[in-house]
Amino acid sequence: MPGKGARAHWRREREPSCQTLACLKVGKMELGVVAVVSAVAWVVHWNTLAADFAYDDSRAIKTNQDLLPSTPLSNLFRDDFWGTPLIHSGSHKSYRPLCVFSFRINFWLGGFDPWGYHLVNVLLHALVSGLFTHLAAGVFLQHSLPTMVAGLLFAVHPIHTEAVAGVVGRADVGACLFFLLALQAYVQYCKWRDKEPEYCGRRWMALYGALGLATGAMLTKEHGITVLGVCAVYDVLIQHRLTPRDIPSLLVEKRYQGLREGLLHLVGAAIVLVGFRVHLMGRKPPDFAPADNPAADSDSFVTRTLTFLYLPAFNFWLLLCPLWLSFDWSMEAVPLVCSIFDPRNLVTLCFYGGLIYTFLFVHRHLPRRGAPSESAFSLVGSTNTCTCQTLNQSPKLSFYSNHSGPAQRHKKFTPILNNNNNNHAFIQSTCNGHRVSNGTCNAPPPVCQPTICYSASDCCECAVTCSYRLDAVILSLAFLVLPFIPATNLFFYVGFVIAERVLYIPSVGFCLLVGLGLEQLYKYQESSRRRKALICTMVILLVLFSVRTFRRNLDWRTEESLYRSGIHINPPKAYGNLANILSAQGKKTKAEWAYRKALTYRSNMADVHYNLGILLQEQGRFEEALQSYKVAIQFRPRLAMAHLNMGLVLGILGRKEEAIEVYRHCAQLDSAGLKDPKKHESTKISALFNLGRLYADEGKYHEAIDVYQEAMHKMPDHYQPQSLYNMLGMDTVYPFYLTIINHSHCTTC
What confidence score (pLDDT) does residue 293 get?
Answer: 79
Between CA 266 and CA 274, with CA 269 as vertex, the angle to 5 degrees is 120
Provide the pLDDT for residue 277: 84
- For residues 566 and 726, the model is more confident at 566
* Mean pLDDT over each residue of the chain, to the nearest integer: 78
**All residues at 6 or more sequence positions from 148 whose CB lies less than 8 Å from its CB, including other chains:** 33, 36, 37
* Residue 603 or residue 431, greater confidence: 603
Q: 452: which DSSP letter?
A: E
- Among 554, 601, 556, 613, CA closest to 575: 601
Which letter does DSSP use for residue 235 in this model? I
DSSP-derived 3-state class of residue 508 = helix
Q: pLDDT for 468-513, tens place per residue?
A: 788 888 999 999 999 998 888 777 777 778 889 999 999 999 999 9
* Mean pLDDT across 379-405: 35
Of the listed ranges 385-389, 571-575, 658-662, the one predicted with least confidence: 385-389
- Mean pLDDT across the stretch 371-383? 48
3-state SS of 547-591 is HHHHHHHHHCCCHHHHHHHCCCCCHHHHHHHHHHHHHHCCCHHHH
Instruction: Tell me the backbone φ, ψ of residue 440, rounded to 5 degrees.
Output: -115, 130
pLDDT tens, 327-345?
Answer: 988 888 889 998 899 899 9
Q: What pLDDT digit, counting tens, does each position of 460-478 carry?
A: 455 555 667 888 889 999 9
Please give the Cα distance from 404 to 187 (Å, whole number): 40
Q: How far apart are CA 379 and CA 740, in angstroms?
A: 77
CA 269 to chain centre: 21
- CA gap 606, 635 in Å, rounded: 6
Q: Is the pLDDT of residue 278 over 50?
A: yes
204 by Cβ neighbours in 10 Å (0-12 / 13-18 / 19+) ranks as: middle
b/e sequence 515-525, b meaning 16+ C-beta within 10 Å: bbebbeebeee
Write the pLDDT tens digit of every residue in 103-157: 999 999 988 999 999 999 999 999 999 999 999 988 888 888 999 999 999 999 9
Other residues' Cβ atoms within 10 Å of the Cβ of residue 593: 14
Residue 382's pLDDT band (boundaries 50, 70, 90)? very low
Distance CA 15, CA 514 (A): 31
Q: What's at 696, amino acid-wise?
A: A
With beta carbons less than 8 A apart as the criterion, state whether 203 and 193 touch: yes
Segment 364-376 shows an average pLDDT of: 55
pLDDT reported for residue 198: 59
Q: What is the pLDDT of residue 463?
A: 52
Q: How does DSSP classify residue 334?
A: S
pLDDT tens-digit readout, 22-52 = 333 446 677 889 999 999 999 999 999 999 9
- Tell me the CA end-to-end span of the chain in Å, nearest whole number: 108
Percent of the chain at pLDDT > 70 equals: 76
Task: Report residue 597's pLDDT band, with 50, 70 and 90 as the boundaries.
Answer: very high
**Cα(525)–Cα(528) distance, rounded to whole angstroms?**
7
Cα Rg for the chain, rounded, in angstroms?
A: 32
Could you tell me which residue, 380 or 655, shows the higher pLDDT? 655
- What is the predicted pLDDT for the residue at 361? 79
Q: What angle do CA 642, 645, 646 make, to 5 degrees?
A: 80
Whether residue 385 has pLDDT greater than 60 = no
pLDDT (average), residues 735-749? 41
User: What single letter denotes the amino acid at residue 451?
Assistant: T
Q: What is the dihedral of CA 222, 226, 228, 232, to 10 degrees?
A: 170
* Distance separating alpha carbons of residues 292 and 303, to the nearest angstrom: 16
CA 156 – CA 607 distance, rounded (Å): 36
Report the Cα 34 to chain-centroid distance in Å: 22
Q: Of the segments 5-14, 167-176, 361-370, which one has the largest average pLDDT value?
A: 167-176
Q: Assign residue 3 a region (left: φ > 0; alpha: ψ between -120 and 50; beta: otherwise).
A: beta
The band of 351, judged by pLDDT with boundaries at 50, 70 and 90, is: very high
Average pLDDT over residues 633-638: 90
pLDDT-derived band at 213 (thresholds 50, 70, 90) equals very high
pLDDT > 90: percent of the chain: 39
Average pLDDT of the residues in 587-615: 93
Lowest-confidence range among 172-181, 444-453, 652-661? 444-453
